[in-house]
């Protein structure tokens, strides 16, 4: 970003304000959903989905990951795959009646 170009600075500020507003809206939605009984598991699932969206917004825009190189994304995908595999192992383990 060229810090001397006023149009680019305005665009950056506008984008930051939009992301901030989205984070506020998602926080309000999280609080609203926590007050509605969707069933214990469903409340957790909805809260985790919203939290993942918020974390993605923060990482992408405020931590500038949206403009990073392919290596960063490769590490990110590897970590996400590892988490999915670990959760899958836990669910498989518990589904077979094996208690940890």
pTM, two decimal places: 0.63
Residues 1 and 13 in one domain: yes
Question: Residue 39: its pLDDT value, please?
Answer: 82
Residues 13 and 2 in one domain: yes
| Pairwise CA distance, residues 29 & 26, whole Å | 5
What is the arithmetic mean of pLDDT over 83-87? 87
Read off the DSSP letter of residue 5: -
Domain that holds residue 75: 68-100
The closest of 62, 76, 51 to 18, measured between CA atoms, is: 62
Contact between 69 and 42 (Cβ < 8 Å):
no
| More confident call, 67 vs 15 | 15
Residues 35 and 75 in one domain: no
What is the arithmetic mean of pLDDT over 19-46? 89
**Domains: count for the chain:** 2
């Amino acid at each position: 970003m060229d810090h001397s170009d006023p149009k680019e600075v305005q665009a950056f500020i506008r984008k930051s304000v939009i992301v901030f507003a989205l984070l506020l809206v998602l926080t309000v939605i999280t609080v609203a959903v926590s007050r509605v009984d969707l069933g214990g598991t469903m409340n957790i699932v909805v809260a985790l989905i919203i939290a993942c969206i918020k974390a993605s917004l923060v990482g992408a825009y405020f931590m500038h990951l949206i403009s990073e190189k392919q290596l960063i994304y490769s590490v990110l995908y590897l970590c996400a795959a590892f988490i999915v595999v670990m959760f899958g192992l836990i669910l498989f383990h518990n589904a077979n009646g094996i208690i940890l």
